[in-house]
A and B are shown apart, each in its own frame.
Chain A
Amino acid sequence: MKPAKFEHQRMASLDEAVKALGNAEGETRVLGGGQSLGPMMNLRLAQPDVVLDLSKVEGLDGIEETGNAIRVGARVSHARIEDGEVPGKTGDYMQFVATGISYRSVRNRGTIGGSVAHADPSADWPSALLALGGSVTAAGGNGIRTISLDGFTVGPFSTGLGWDEILTGFELPVLGTDANWGYYKVNRKPGEFADAIGAVTLGVEARAVCGATESAPFRVTEIEERLASGVQEVSIAEVRDILDRYDAGFDDYELQIHAVALSRAVQGAFA
């Protein structure tokens, strides 16, 4: 279980990284905390020719509140979020999510940007951030651009990032002090990847996400409409009926646990 030969390039700046990615020959991967890419390379499921290591790139690890948004850098570790560095209600929600990711030593190294760019369907952040809303910032050959989190995850291990773009961070909404949120993960053991995720936030708009699917997480508008109209409880049976109408490829058990997750996320939001 050793990686195939690859070239490791430690990037000194974002500019250098963008240039290197644009000019790279062969398969090139961007390395954040290495908690997903590392094992995949060891298993030789990923065999990149070049790995661009962002760990020394400055300016990607900030957390700042700018009026109506919270900027979170791509290299911010799960552990820092777990430790409460993201402020306010948004921070409470993200802290709860981060605490359930794997175990502490993985959280120390794993990054939020790496997780979203990697887009493992069972990972927490793609679903959790979709439920929060906001956008991804990315740097590429054509400069910086902002991409909505809606639709950013396209499918398993597939995102809206261009081939020459590096995810640099997130602009996330500030949840008001009275905003409700709920997050429920069905998994086999504490810290394990999710079998089902339900995520709900009630900020400026009500957002409800069904996550840990075969593909990309998706918003469930029927639930969002109910939440927006003041409904505070949606039964498992109701969620089942709603989710059954989506073409998510669930078998009966998967439908059940995704319904449980979303129903309990709603329940958690008003507990």
Chain B
Amino acid sequence: MADGGSVDGKGIGARVLRKEDARHLAGKGKFTSDFKRPGQKEMAFVRASVAHAHIKSIVKPAGYEHAIFTSEDLPGLKPMRALSKLPGYKLSDYPALAAGKVRFAGEPVAVCVADSRADAEDIAQMVEVEYDILPAVTDMLAAKKPDAPLVHDEWEDNIVFETFSDDDFQKIADEATVVIRREYRMNRQAMNPMEGKAVFAEWDDRQDQLMMWTSTQVPHLIRNGLAEFLDLEQRQVRVIAPDVGGGFGCKALLQPEELVAGYLTRKLECPIRWIEDRREHLVTGANCREHHYQITLHATPDGRMLGLDCDVTVDAGAYSVYPFTNGLEGAMAHGNLPGPYNFKAYKCRTQTTVTNKPGLMPYRGVARPGVCFAMEMTIDALAREIGMEAHEIRMKNMVPESAMPFMSIAKKHFDSGNYAKSVEMAVDMIGLEKVRASQGVPTDDGRIIGVGMGSYVEQTAHGTSVFSSWGVAMVPGYEQATVRLTPDGGLELRIGVQSHGQGMETSMAQMACEVLGIDPDNVMVTHGDTGLTPYSTGTYASRSMVMAGGATARACRVLAERMEIIGAHLMQCERTEVSIAGGKVVSGKGEVSFAEIGRVWYLNPDELPEDVDQGGVEVTMGYRPEPDSGAFTYASHACKISLDVETGKVKVLDYVIVEDCGTIVNPMIVEGQTFGGATQGIGTALLEESLYDEMGNPGASTFADYMMPSATDAPMYRVDHMESPSPFTEYGIKGMGEGGTIPTPAAIGNAINDALKQIGAEVMETPFTPRRVRAAIEAARDRKEGEAA
């Protein structure tokens, strides 16, 4: 019997161990690649070996024609088309299998089907594709030039869309006597969840329905996409995300492979499976982060930042991804560049260009690691210029707590927080004074020390109005949750978001515990199944705890009221005399367990009161914060690094994080998310880079070439929390899943430039590889020699 019992201290704020860990630690999780069915076939893709070409011919080897499919063999399969209402936005089609032209190396050209993956790869190897090779455009700045090759022939240029906002800089001209100009570049990366993409498709004749198990963050959106592009009715599609080993954004989008699997399972009348391998992932998934900044900061000699003027270029790759488009990064860069600072003037132009590389996807932090990098590096450049500590500039210019809620110059509605306090705490934790004292002492191993920091404010759980303003066709609305009391007093909780490492089976159960006092162990959380859960746009934008958590709280409250009516009747007392506590309905006369309530509703309804709610003990409620402009998490990260001047190699010696995500539901989950995010940020800062040659051939297709951060690269993070509840959300919760990635490149870059200050060198391009650091040092020395001569 699932007796709730007394569960003090397992609700909001408790360090509850993750329920899902039990199965994962025992290797008993069930992922898409664990599904097996009699007669299943495996897919392997023939992928473009060149970045930009017309396909002249595809020759299938004799005897294997039945096992190979090109776009011509799949009539009725529509190309993906992601709509956007952004003014001037140019639409493009993304065919699941290349039709006529390939636009990036790795693009699927044909699919081969066989009993095993190895057999399918054998067939794929025999397929001969003849290309008419075109010049490739691989650089976002080169893509803007008038003579650049066109990625999409029907466009007049390679610019997807632009945003522009101007301001009157004359109003600050008299005061802003210090002008800092910099150029920054954040290079392309591949986000690397432990589990790659994976799909298992099967047509269910009984239901007349496509069943698709797929490694996704957004099962309901995948259903929308499958129905639209496979031309099925929505009732004919059910999507289930089983255990998913991380996503980081690349699984928040419809994949070409999902469409092909869905098509072929019906055509071939057998289950179809595709498990992405890491090489496919590193080549086709090299799709994030790539930004360029030309930034000018106008300030006063005493460190007041008055105006910001920036040209941002975003490299969107070849295709626009469904449903979020390739417009998100540019729009978000524009709106987030000024960060937590109170500027008087802001001018920004963003241009998003297409190139012959995989289509840009939103990666954990979306655009903000780039803008934070550009903004925070510029602040430190200002600090060096005027001889001030950079943290003092930050604190001086941040929107103060007393001004909250506050509409920023980029029209972000900050809800709550003491931004400057996070800076002060981080400076204290990293021991800035001590580091400064140690910097004067030369080390005997040729290493120099630097300290740097990065601060950010992050819009999370933003809702309808925000996504609508970005022009995307798929806008989140009210999030819903369903709760159902079981006959033995347990609780089933169904949510449309998807947990792929966030621990939501635990944190959502904690939310139910907070309202009902039920032990989280007695709450079964079902997620990631379009057949069982309410519609949701899914897990992205650090939204799930705020949105689905808020909906859970509301559903639990209504359930509580209904249980109180039954409980009051069973105790023969007035409704006003009872309340819910510790997983029971209690009154002065005694108590009734949830199990007793369940028994009466399901098994002995003859004992129910007349005024019982006929909806019973199952409730669906919707929720959206009001206003839905987002809950703003913020943090300051500070780090100490050592830099080997002779090799250019950087080591992170110490790393501290002060973060404020409002009310914390489970501190262990918050810390785990933060550490994981920061480690990915170290990847951006020091290691990860998807390289291309001028023909668009990828240069990093294995982990021998693509450096991932691992345990040896992660410092022992030290974290401190602040808690400024959002006035607009249930329990004041703010989203926090992405934030850890955002300020890390800036913090490490600033620490490097702090160390290099004595040499007069500066790095401005991620990752800060030993080669780039050495180049910066050499350039500074050459400059000095030039000046001396």
Contacts and interface: CB of A to CB of B under 8 A. Distances in A.
Interface of B: 116-118, 121-122, 125, 277-280, 646-649, 687, 702, 704, 707, 710, 712-713, 769-771, 774-775, 778
A22 interface: no
A257 interface: yes
A193 interface: yes
A43 B279 contact: yes
Interface string A34-59: 00000100011000000000000000
Given A1-B277, A190-B712, A39 B707 contact: no
Contacts of B646: 236, 256, 260
A189 B713 contact: yes
Return the 8 tightest CB-CB contacts between A and B, nearest first.
A2-B118, A1-B277, A190-B712, A260-B646, A253-B771, A2-B121, A188-B707, A2-B117
B778 A186 contact: no
A191 interface: yes
A164 interface: no
A192 interface: yes
A119 to B, nearest CB: 16
A99 to B, nearest CB: 13
Given A190-B712, A253-B771, A44 B125 contact: yes
Contacts of B278: 1
Which of B280, B707, B770 has the largest number of chain A CB atoms within 10 A? B770
B713 A256 contact: no
B770 A189 contact: no
Given A5-B122, A257-B647, A189 B707 contact: yes
Nearest to B709: A189
Contacts of B125: 4, 44
Contacts of B280: 1
Nearest to B117: A2
A contact face: mostly helix, strand, loop, or mixed: loop
A88 interface: no
Contacts of A252: 778
Given A2-B121, A3-B118, A257-B770, A189 B710 contact: yes
A53 B121 CA distance: 24
A195 B648 CA distance: 13
Nearest to B279: A1
A186 B713 contact: no
Interface string A1-18: 111110000000000000
Contacts, number: 53
B680 to A, nearest CB: 15
A103 to B, nearest CB: 9
B707 A192 contact: yes
Contact of A189 (B121, B712, B771, B775): B712
A226 B117 CA distance: 57
Given A44-B121, A191-B712, 11 more contacts: A1-B121, A4-B122, A39-B702, A43-B279, A44-B125, A188-B687, A188-B769, A253-B648, A253-B774, A256-B774, A260-B646
Contacts of B775: 253
Contacts of A192: 704, 707
Interface in A93-108: none
A44 B125 CA distance: 10
Nearest to B772: A253
Contacts of B118: 2-3, 5
Contacts of A191: 712
Interface string A171-190: 00000000000000010111
A262 to B, nearest CB: 12
A4 B125 CA distance: 9
Contacts of B647: 186, 256-257, 260
B67 to A, nearest CB: 16
A54 B403 CA distance: 73
Contacts of A1: 121, 277-280
B782 to A, nearest CB: 11
Contacts of B117: 2
Nearest to A3: B118
26 contacts: A1-B279, A1-B280, A4-B121, A5-B118, A5-B122, A43-B702, A44-B125, A186-B647, A188-B707, A189-B710, A189-B712, A189-B713, A190-B712, A191-B712, A192-B704, A192-B707, A193-B704, A195-B770, A253-B648, A253-B771, A253-B774, A256-B646, A256-B647, A257-B647, A257-B770, A260-B646
